[in-house]
Structure 1
Amino acid sequence: MADTLTPLSPRTHGAGPPPSSAGREAPRPATRKGNGSFRTRVLTPYAMLAPGIVLFVLFMAAPIVYTLFLSFQKKQVVGLGLGSGGESQVFAGFENYVGSLTDPEFASSVGRVLLYGVVLIPCMLGLALLFALLLDSKRTRATAFSRVSIFLPYAVPAVISSLLWGFLYLPAVSPFYYVFDRLGWDVDGVLGSGTVLFAIANIALWGGVGFNMIVIYTSLKAVPTDVYEAARLDGASEVQIALRIKIPMVAPALVMTALFSMVATLQVFAEPTTLRPLTNSLSTSWSPLMLVYRDAFTRDDIYSAAATSVVIALATFIVSFFFLRVVQKRAFGQED
């Protein structure tokens, strides 16, 4: 009976080391890789991020903090302002903010920019969506050339595009007014007080449609073609596919472009500043940023300019936040 029993393995008895397998390395002790693991997981990523962090602190965080500091300061004349007296910088509390919010010129500039956005944003996004849908259609020819032609104005700096359009707006040098004069048409200048807002919006429209079109067009290309083929098999026309499938599918891209356009509208500066020498219809406080520039560099009141800058930044953040809150459920499919 004893001869028929098979011996148990040493691992079962707990005696002796397990038999070593050929080609298998013994695990290294955990203590040997402790320092190397710390350097790899902690020090190396921070070392690679260090240049970006330093640049962000120097050119973004530090100016923001310094602007906040200046917004709570003001100048105070000591003595007669001469000799050992002069001016000193003292704490002003919220005095600069109250002055900015109660300034009639600031309120007027905000109203003009809001009207400018109402005119510009729907036209720009509507044309961008239309061009994206046309380029995505199978019937469109020369798609690459058309895409580059529409996008190319975005690559032109705002100052240069404003100068180009400014000369086209001037009756003395514009070829359009020469043609109108030959045809006997009496056309008033577009840089008048009633039309200068539309002239500025036209410059931004010309330069901004291309960028928004590329964003929407890229989103359309990410949609699977099987969705379109199934709709065509069901008898849907190209217009129905565009209205009921393509536009709802690119809703997140539309929201993103709308948000970028709103932020750019609140920060309009280059176009009216460049056109101002060409017309008397543009004041130095036509937009909020022009008002900041005037206070800081013309009136030498950097404290009021800093407070107005903070107000503009907060307003931009609030508008962006509430806009995303309103559209996020519909566009991104997220619950509140």
Structure 2
Amino acid sequence: MTVQTPPRARRRRSGRFAPYVYLAPAMTLFALFLALPIGYALYLSFRTVKVSGLGLGKGARTEVWAGFDNYARSLTDPDFIDSVIRVALYGLVLVPVMLGLALLFALLLDSKRTRGRGFSRVSIFLPYAVPAVIASLLWGFLYLPRVSPFYYVFDKIGWDAPDILSSQWVLFAIANIGLWGGVGFNMIVIYTALKAIPSELYEAARLDGATEVQIAWRIKIPVVTPSLILTFLFSMIATLQVFAEPMTLRPLTNTISSTWSPLMKVYRDAFTRDDIYSAAATSVIIALATFALSFGFLRLVQRRAFSQENS
């Protein structure tokens, strides 16, 4: 005699697997296009090629276990160390100015005295929608003295404009491109947080005689501090991954080397020198450094960032 499962029990059993059915496409894409490439890069970072004889013929080049040799070479490579120093200076120039302008624009747009908010908001955000390669090309031609309209105007006025693509100014030239594209995104994040502040706080402050500057300094900025922390984290990660801007400007000047940034060194090792093993090790180092800095920064500011959520 067979015992049939009640319909309610069958529905309950099938309902247990329903979330996994919905998650299956996302999990499959995650495994194929993120987890597997990361695992393969990690595997390659511990491998190298052993050349026998002249390296000619079948079996002359074999892939062998290298241990941590690729990591040791990357960490002691002067080109990699110099690229890290350049990116650190790039971040020190870019991130504070970008977040300061984003906060200023967000506060101005949130002010009642501001006119044309919609147009201003779109105008500030629009550069972020321009791809980094296109923006780098546009600014690159504006930097070239022979084709730039700015240099033409300066020449007619009689001013001596510096060569922005020279070794002395090229870091600021690259930072300017990141600044032009990044202010809008951060401004939108901060402005959205400002719009979530209850208007009763402003009314109470005005009744107490607070000016708009005092309201911004004592109410708005403290309330949007979690958003400032979030934008700083995103900006720091983007700084460590800078690639498109210097890579696009490189053909326009000889002051940008093929290893100007860590990711450019990875590109050179993988596609110019055909050393995918060293490139994989450097990629893992960059990923670990990004994770360590991000995690350390969040641990440092977690009380300030999440105090409102925990209260």
Q: TM-score, normalised by structure 2?
A: 0.96
Specify the alignment match of 1:161 in structure 2: 135
Show the 5 A alignment for 1:280-299. 280-299=254-273
SS at the partner of 2:163?
A: coil
Show the 5 A alignment for 1:121-132. 121-132=95-106
Per-residue CA deviations over 1:18-51 (Å, capped at 9, x if unaligned) read xxxxxxxxxxx994311111212x2222111111
Matched, 1:117 2:91: yes
Specify the alignment match of 1:274 in structure 2: 248
Specify the alignment match of 1:146 in structure 2: 120
Q: Which amino acid aligns with 2:62?
A: S
| Alpha-carbon contact 1:125-1:209 (below 8 Å) kept | yes
Q: Which amino acid aligns with 2:139?
A: W
Matched, 1:69 2:39: no
Q: Which amino acid aligns with 1:37?
A: R
Specify the alignment match of 2:9 in structure 1: 34
1:207 deviates by: 0.2
Q: Which amino acid aligns with 1:257?
A: T
Specify which structure has the bigger relative contact order, considering alpha-carbon pairs within 8 angstroms and separated by 6 or more residues.
2
| Alpha-carbon contact 1:135-1:143 (below 8 Å) kept | yes
1:81 deviates by: 2.0
SS at the partner of 1:192?
A: coil
Per-residue CA deviations over 1:287-328 (Å, capped at 9, x if unaligned) read 000000000000000000000000000000000011111111
**Structure 2: segments with no counterpart, 5+ residues:** none
Specify the alignment match of 2:76 in structure 1: 102
**Separation in 2, partners of 1:84, 1:252:** 59
**Separation in 2, partners of 1:154, 1:38:** 48
Specify the alignment match of 1:254 in structure 2: 228
**Separation in 1, partners of 2:76, 2:53:** 30
% identical aligned pairs: 70
Q: Which amino acid aligns with 1:204?
A: G
SS at the partner of 1:89?
A: strand
Matched, 1:172 2:149: no
Per-residue CA deviations over 1:203-226 (Å, capped at 9, x if unaligned) read 000000000000000000001000
Q: Among residues 183, 200, 205, which one is paired with 1:226 in the alignment?
A: 200
| Alpha-carbon contact 1:79-1:86 (below 8 Å) kept | yes
Q: Which amino acid aligns with 2:205?
A: A
Q: Which amino acid aligns with 1:168?
A: L
Q: Which amino acid aligns with 2:163?
A: G
Q: Which amino acid aligns with 1:157?
A: P
**Separation in 2, partners of 1:85, 1:201:** 48
Q: Which amino acid aligns with 1:70?
A: L
Per-residue CA deviations over 1:225-272 (Å, capped at 9, x if unaligned) read 001110000110000000000000000000000000000000000000
Specify the alignment match of 1:190 in structure 2: 164
Deviates more, 1:43-52 or 1:234-243: 43-52
Specify the alignment match of 1:316 in structure 2: 290
**Separation in 1, partners of 2:260, 2:294:** 22
SS at the partner of 1:76?
A: strand
**Separation in 1, partners of 2:251, 2:7:** 72
SS at the partner of 2:274?
A: coil
**Separation in 1, partners of 2:171, 2:78:** 19
Matched, 1:204 2:178: yes
Q: Among residues 11, 22, 29, which one is paired with 1:48 in the alignment?
A: 22
Deviates more, 1:70-79 or 1:254-263: 70-79
Structure with greater Cα Rg: 1
Specify the alignment match of 1:9 in structure 2: none
Q: TM-score, normalised by structure 1?
A: 0.89
Number of residue-to-residue matches in the alignment: 306
Specify the alignment match of 1:330 in structure 2: 304
**Structure 1: segments with no counterpart, 5+ residues:** 1-28
